[in-house]
Amino acid sequence: MAGVVLLYHGRPDLAMTSPASVPPGRWRFGQFELDLATRELRKNGLRIRIQEQQARILEALIERAGELVTREDLRERLWPADTFVDFERSLNAAVAKLRQVLADSAEQPRYVETVARRGYRFVAPVQACAPAQESAELSSDSIAAEAVAPAPTPTRSRRLWVWPVAALGVLVLASSFLFRTGPRAASSGQPPPVRFVIPPPEGTRIHPMSAVSADGTKVAFVAVDPSGHRTLWVRALASESSIRLPNTDEAITPFFSADSQHIGYFADGKLKRIPTLGGSAQTLCNVNQPAGGTWNRENVIVFSQLGRLYRVSAGGGPSTELVRPDTPAGQIKLDTWPQFLPDGRHFIVSTATHTGTLNAIRTEILLGAIDSKNRKWLVNSRSRAALTPLGRLLFRRDDSLVAQTLDLSRERLVGEPVAVAQDLNRVSGGVFIDVKPGMPNGVVPAPFSASDNGVLVYHASPPPRRQLVWFNREGKRLGVAGESRDYMQIVLSPDEQWAALAIRNAGSLIHWNIWLLQLSTNVLSRLTFGEGRDADPAWSPQSDRVVYGAYQPEQGEKIDLMQVTLGEPAPKRIYSDGDANKPEVWSPDNRYLLFRRNEQTVLTLPTSGDRNPAVLLHSPYIKQGFRFSPDGHWVAYASTDSGAEEIYVASFPGMTGTRQVSTGGGYSPVWRKDGQELFYMTELGDVMSTGVKAASTLVTRSPKLLFHADSRNANMPQFAVTENGQKFLVIESPSLRVGDERMIVVTHWDAPVRQ
């Protein structure tokens, strides 16, 4: 043995002690190991770079694992009393960088949990390991004896606990017994995992929502051709080719019957079924805004529509809504991606709780039953989960797929999640559900599926390779700016010296910060250090201040308006009312800031004097991307009034004389400096232009195509215009190369997890 290993976890109420003769020299947690003497951090045995300050924070948190470590505690430890430092901002930045090193996230912490306005807590189990030179002398017999002996009292009088080995063994056996209903049980002689890639049919790409059959012999997937046309395909894993199922146009989100002989899917506003060997498709019922289905051995199908669960016979007929938990007043719950457990009665479901805005205050995996309104919480997760008969719950954590054991007798997860796959595809799949009328919300499905007998299918793609690219009006590439990052939004300063960029942090789905790009030097520097989502930057007319929205998932849907002045160290809150407020644009005369409240109300916030906002516009349809004309008399914006996102222009402040400018869709309008031209982008990445003549009324010309940009996220600002409409800085998202986006099959995926 390399050393004594004592398992600790953040539960002071179950504290025990361990032998004082074996002082810990290293801490182990997850895939990491921290050497206390050198403050070196290793991941899977390989040393990774960590700065001294982050290492000291990590050491302080691990020493008191499971306990609150206050911000003041960390201040005393990191900065002496006579040190002058912007403590709040410096600590936030240090913890954010530590999370990046650990591939952790504030909204779904695996290691470092934020205790709002108080401090931090280390939440992962910790192993204290003796120094190698001491532990090498200990035999396995002595280690077994020490595992049940009293543990040493760690520094600062903290107490950690050792899980009794016998209890852990009973727990694992109980969980295995509960789920021994599948085709096979765990065995020590199980073959090792085997991975291989299923290529897409020629001339297509595979949509990142597929399904593996319960018997693990075949995969159903949707292939998409260059025009966006979708069809359903089946691939037997023992075969070298895939088979297209006829008459399955526009199919989405397939799922198998319990006997693996049929496939359910959604298309043309209907739930349908088709034999896996091909044949005629049968319509079962009408469906509006579907988000997943599941099929049990009694031929009952449970599916999600409009964020609610319904049941229907697999032979077709009327659908009926399942009983659901009582919803507190003011809350909206969306249930998606159900999956039956082996008993055909219980299911797991992904539930998002809203209070009327797009940002959910809570997203979780729940355990329910088709004849009960009671639901049991299992884990917080932003996408769906899958459960295997042997009791492994698969769910997404940032860009990783993890597995954790579910103990049905206690209706809770036990043990620690184990990483199964990396680089999960981030594509939402085009599934939308109305949080309320006129407010569609993209639903994250999680691109994976598991059989009853150890076959896993998941979709992987590398992290986005977005780049800032300069174009002229003819679409000629003039060069790149900055470095390759996961850019989400871009807004140019009025003096054209800076670009404010919202950038998503590596490995996280929701952690964004605002960065500045100095156009003259191509130097990229970080402007905000929030631990949630800092987004939607808006420049002051003098180009000296930026307002942005700060979202902290643990604080519900609330988004605060924050202002940071260039050259000053810390941002300040300028408006907060508990709602989701997103800044839009600053008026050219510096009198107002326009912002959206809960997506459907646009308000003006005075920048001086009486700071009470006034409603400018309220509509059941989402309006966004507001931009003032240079003279401040007109405002352009995108709206779904017509059923599709289009560009409109109206007078300010009366919001009269409204006229539609775009045809065929449009996002993110930008005015030319002289106000005589308006630019916007289409969903396909086409940069469009329309001539504008402002008088007592506004006259616009027919839009024309300037050039095509390989850009995504068109409903966010993806381009900026300089030099009076002659140069464009675009967030370019290069198309994935062949092999970048893959559907991967893993046989016996759970063998390492069982070990």
The CA distances from residue 186 to 311, 363, 408, 453, in Å, are: 33, 32, 17, 10
Across the range 255-271, mean pLDDT stands at 96
Burial class of residue 245, CB neighbours in 10 A (0-12, 13-18, 19+)? buried
194-462+739-754 and 467-473+483-732 in the same fold: yes
For residue 436, what pLDDT is reported? 81
Burial 343-382 (b: 16+ CB within 10 A, else e): ebebbbbbbbbbbbbbbbbbbbbbbbbbeeeebeebbebb
Distance CA 418, CA 44 (A): 13
For residue 225, what pLDDT is reported? 87
Distance CA 360, CA 736 (A): 30
Pair type for strands 439-442 and 448-450: unpaired
Which phi-psi region, left, alpha or beta, contains residue 190 (left: φ > 0; alpha: ψ -120 to 50)? beta
Q: Which two tokens stand for residue 519?
A: 């156009």
The three-class DSSP label of residue 92 is helix
DSSP state of 580: B
Give the model confidence (pLDDT) of 575-589 as tens digits.
999 888 999 999 999
Distance CA 513, CA 572 (A): 15
The three-class DSSP label of residue 553 is helix
| pLDDT tops 50 at residue 475 | yes
Amino acid at 19: P
Q: Say which CATH class 5-163 falls into.
A: mainly alpha
Residue 671 makes CB contacts below 8 A (sequence gap 6+) with 627, 628, 629, 630, 636, 677, 678, 679, 692
Give the model confidence (pLDDT) of 658-707 as tens digits.
999 998 899 999 999 999 999 999 988 999 999 998 777 788 899 999 99
What's the fold here for domain 467-473+483-732? Neuraminidase (2.120.10)
The confidence band for 24, taking pLDDT boundaries of 50, 70 and 90, is: low
Give the model confidence (pLDDT) of 477-525 as tens digits.
999 998 888 899 999 999 999 999 999 887 677 789 999 999 999 999 9
The mean pLDDT of the chain is 82
Q: Which two tokens stand for residue 668?
A: 């993110």
**CATH code, residues 194-462+739-754:** 2.120.10.30
Pair type for strands 308-313 and 300-305: antiparallel
Distance CA 566, CA 545 (A): 6
Distance CA 284, CA 112 (A): 47
Question: Tokens 């630019």 map to which residue?
Answer: 679
User: Is residue 417 within a helix (H) or strand (E), and if so which, with residue range?
Assistant: strand 412-421
Least confident of 127-131, 267-271, 565-569, 624-628: 127-131
Q: What is the DSSP string of 432-483?
A: EEEEETTEEEE----SEEE-TTSEEEEEE-PPP--EEEEEETT--EEEEES-
| pLDDT tops 70 at residue 180 | no
Indicate the pTM of the whole model. Answer: 0.64
Residue 422 makes CB contacts below 8 A (sequence gap 6+) with 399, 400, 401, 460
Across the range 320-337, mean pLDDT stands at 92
The domain limits of the chain are 5-163, 194-462+739-754, 467-473+483-732
